[in-house]
Chains A and B, each alone.
Chain A
Amino acid sequence: MANADEIVDQIASFGLFADLATPQLERVAHTFEERWYSEGERILRQGISGSAFHIILEGEATVVIDGTERATLARGDFFGEVSILLGEPPVADVVAKRALRCLVLAGPQVQKFLVDHPPVMYRMLQAQARRLRIANRWRS
Chain B
Amino acid sequence: MAELSDRPFPPGEYPVIVIGSGPGGLQVASRLRHDGIRHAVISADDAPGGMFRRWPFFQRLLSWTKPFAPVDRSDRAYERYDWNSLLGEEPASRTLMPDLMDGSSYFPSRPEMQRNIELFAERAALDVRYGCRWTATRLEETATGSRFVLDTTDGEYRAEVLIVAVGVAEPYRPATPGIELAAHYADTRPAESYADRRVFIIGKQNSGFELASGFLQWARRIIVSSPSPAKLSVNTHSLVGIRARYVQPFEDHVLGGGVTVLDAAIQSITQVEGGLEVRVRPTAGGEELVFEVDEAIAATGFVTPLGDLPDLGVATFGQARLPAQTPYWESASVPGIHFAGTISQGAGGLKKHGQPANSGAVHGARYNARVLVDHLAQTRFGVERERTPIAADDLVDTLVHELATAPALWHQRAYLTRIVSLDPAAGALDEGLAPLAAFIDGAADDGTGDAIALTIEADGTGAIYPVVYARRAGAISEHVIDQDLLLRYDTPAVRRQVGEVVRAFGVAAGKA
Contacts and interface: CB of A to CB of B under 8 A. Distances in A.
Interface in B309-331: 310, 315-319, 321, 324, 326
A27 B263 contact: yes
A106 to B, nearest CB: 2
A107 interface: yes
B315 A99 contact: yes
Interface stretch (A10-18, A31-39, A122-130, A132-140): A31-39
Interface in B425-464: 440-441, 457, 459-461
B354 A52 contact: yes
Interface of A: 1-5, 21-24, 26-27, 29-31, 33-38, 41-42, 45, 47-52, 89, 99, 101, 104-109
Interface stretch (B68-76, B345-353, B499-507): B345-353
B174 A5 contact: yes
B485 interface: no
A117 to B, nearest CB: 11
B366 to A, nearest CB: 24
B477 interface: yes
A21 B284 CA distance: 10
Given A35-B348, A47-B478, A50-B353, 16 more contacts: A3-B175, A5-B175, A23-B264, A23-B265, A27-B283, A34-B318, A35-B317, A35-B318, A36-B318, A38-B324, A38-B326, A50-B352, A50-B457, A51-B350, A89-B478, A106-B460
B183 interface: no
Contacts of B491: none
Interface of B: 172, 174-175, 226-228, 263-265, 281-283, 285, 310, 315-319, 321, 324, 326, 332-333, 348, 350-355, 414, 440-441, 457, 459-461, 476-478, 480
B354 A109 contact: yes
Instruction: Count chain A CB atoms within 10 A of each CB in B265, B326, B440, B461 and give the residue with the most.
Output: B265
B460 A108 contact: yes
A53 to B, nearest CB: 10
B228 A27 contact: yes
A52 B317 contact: no
25 contacts: A1-B321, A2-B317, A3-B172, A3-B319, A5-B174, A23-B265, A23-B283, A26-B227, A27-B227, A35-B318, A36-B317, A37-B324, A38-B324, A38-B326, A38-B333, A45-B350, A47-B478, A48-B352, A49-B478, A50-B351, A50-B352, A99-B315, A99-B332, A99-B333, A108-B353
